[in-house]
């Protein structure tokens, strides 16, 4: 069922991205033929990037942002300028910059009445950004609005939201091998605090924050806190080289499937870096990307009195 839901959402995303409709009468905007031609070229280029690795596509996304912003500046107050703003949001989604994506979609949706298909596309990608950012409450509101226009796409999101890992839940178990072939069985870590680190060597924020993560590891490694890295790298050699160079001591799980990998799927990972802290009972106590918050949560868990057996 979970695979089926993902297929539905992926299919809808492809249709919405490829569809070259117009914005309708949002704010009495005018139509510009030349802007429409430019936008069509950009749209086709973007649709060809979706199957590329992010490291390969990054420069093209950056170029697309420049072209879209130039179009908006040159053809202000046109339907095409508003559509370009939508595509900027889509590009930011692909670049995992969800804050900026949401701002773009908010701008589009604030323009008043618009073609319902264009609004559905905007709501769809807005929901994706909100879920990835972790704003589940607002995502549910957006899904409710989307349901009025595209029930099938909305239902896929509703099921996805219902299955997402949340604080207080039992952690999904996994039993895998790390990239060196050593077993990593989460169920056997019960009784210890566990920090799951979802990251990749191609993720600039992950690399920037890595020295802090190493400091946190050094601080807690002798206090019953275990760390497991889940790499979303495409190439095992990238991971192997980084681990050797940085002398990483904790296990690293790799399957080369990025977001579709077993553990990222189990934990509904939409953005990296993301850290998940599990308490001694294997319950989720933190989900996020702030290392200072991880430090505070782990420190608090270490100070909690140990539970005595009932019998």
Tokens 């995992």 sit on residue:
96
The reply to whether 86 and 14 lie within a common domain is yes
Q: How confident is the model at residue 96 (pLDDT cuts 50, 70, 90)?
A: confident
Residue that finishes a domain, picked among 138, 162, 186? 162
Q: Mean pLDDT over residues 102-125, rounded?
A: 90
Report for 76-80, 162-166, 240-244, 291-295: range of highest mean pLDDT = 240-244
According to the model, what pLDDT value does residue 19 have? 47
Are residue 128 and residue 251 in the same domain, yes or no? no
Please tell me whether residues 185 and 53 are part of one structural domain. Answer: no
Note whether 32 and 116 are same-domain residues: yes
Quote the pLDDT of residue 6. 41
Q: Is the pLDDT of residue 162 over 80?
A: no
To the question of pTM greater than 0.85 for the whole model, the response is: no
- Domain residues for the domain of 203 are 175-303
Task: Kindly state the average pLDDT of the residues 163-173.
Answer: 79
Number of domains into which the chain is organized: 2
Give the percent of the chain with pLDDT over 90.
48
The verdict on residue 168 lying in a domain is no
Mean pLDDT of the 203-227 span: 93
| Encoded tokens for 47 | 């649709």
Exposure string (b/e) for 247-271, b if CB count within 10 Å is 16 or more? Answer: ebebbbbbbeebeebebbebbbbbb
Residue 160: the pLDDT is 63
Residue 227 lies in a domain: yes
Q: What confidence score (pLDDT) does residue 134 get?
A: 67
What pLDDT is recorded for position 24? 54
Kindly report the backbone phi and psi dihedral angles of residue 239, in degrees, each rounded to the nearest multiple of 5, phi listed first.
Answer: -65, -45
pLDDT of residue 82: 93
Last residue of a domain, one of 129, 162, 195: 162
Q: Are 192 and 134 in the same domain?
A: no
Residue 240: exposure state from Cβ atoms within 10 A (0-12, 13-18, ≥19): middle
DSSP-derived 3-state class of residue 110: coil
Task: Give residue 83's pLDDT.
Answer: 93
The Cα 176–Cα 225 span in angstroms is 19
Bridge-based pairing state of the strands 193-199 and 225-231:
parallel
Both 138 and 262 in one domain: the answer is no
pLDDT band at 11 (very low <50, low <70, confident <90, very high): very low
Mark whether 35 and 82 lie in a shared domain. yes
Q: What's the pLDDT score for residue 2?
A: 41
> Domain check: are 49 and 97 in the same one?
yes
**Mean pLDDT of the residues in the chain:** 84
pLDDT at 21 over 60: no
Cα–Cα distance for residue pair 275/13, rounded to 1 Å: 27
The closest of 216, 308, 230 to 264, measured between CA atoms, is 230
CATH number for the domain that contains residue 45: 1.25.40.10
Asked whether residue 92 falls in the same domain as residue 148, the answer is: yes
Same domain assignment for residues 42 and 124: yes
Clarify whether residues 259 and 209 are in a common domain.
yes
- List pLDDT tens digits, range 25-44: 555 778 889 999 999 998 88
Query: What pLDDT is stored for residue 266 in this prediction?
Result: 86
Among 162, 190, 212, the domain-final residue is 162
Same domain, 179 and 127: no
Q: Where residue 298 sits, what CATH number does that domain have?
A: 3.40.30.10
Using alpha carbons, list the distances in angstroms from residue 121 to 68, 134, 145, 162, 165: 18, 20, 12, 22, 26
Inform me whether the pLDDT recorded for 176 exceeds 90.
yes
**pLDDT (0 to 100) of residue 15:** 45
């Amino acid at each position: 069922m979970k695979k089926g839901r993902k297929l539905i959402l992926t299919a809808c995303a492809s249709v919405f991205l490829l569809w070259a409709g117009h914005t309708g009468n949002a704010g009495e905007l005018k139509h510009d033929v030349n802007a429409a031609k430019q936008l069509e070229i950009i749209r086709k280029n973007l649709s060809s990037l979706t199957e590329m690795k992010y490291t390969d596509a990054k420069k093209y996304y950056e170029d697309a942002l420049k072209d879209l912003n130039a179009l908006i500046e040159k053809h202000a107050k046109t339907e095409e300028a508003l559509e370009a703003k939508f595509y900027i949001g889509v590009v930011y989604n692909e670049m995992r910059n969800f804050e900026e994506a949401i701002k773009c979609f908010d701008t589009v949706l604030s323009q008043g009445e618009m073609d319902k298909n264009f609004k559905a596309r905007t709501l769809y990608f807005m929901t994706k950004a909100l879920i990835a950012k972790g704003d589940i409450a607002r995502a549910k509101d957006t899904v409710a609005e989307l349901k009025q226009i595209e029930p099938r796409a909305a239902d896929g999101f509703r099921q996805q939201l219902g299955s997402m890992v949340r604080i207080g839940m039992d952690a999904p178990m996994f039993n895998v091998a790390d990239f060196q072939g050593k077993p990593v069985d989460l169920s056997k870590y019960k009784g210890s605090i566990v920090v799951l680190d979802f990251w990749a060597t191609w993720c600039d924020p992950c690399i920037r924050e890595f020295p802090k993560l190493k400091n946190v590891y050094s601080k807690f490694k002798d206090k019953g806190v275990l760390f497991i890295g889940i790499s979303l790298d495409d190439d095992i050699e990238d991971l192997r080289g980084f681990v050797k160079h940085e002398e990483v001591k904790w296990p690293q799980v790799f399957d080369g499937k990025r977001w579709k990998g077993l553990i990222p799927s189990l934990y509904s990972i939409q953005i990296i870096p993301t850290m998940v802290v599990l308490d001694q009972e294997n319950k989720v106590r933190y989900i996020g990307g702030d290392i200072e918050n991880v430090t505070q949560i782990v420190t608090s868990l270490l100070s909690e009195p140990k539970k005595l057996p009932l019998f």
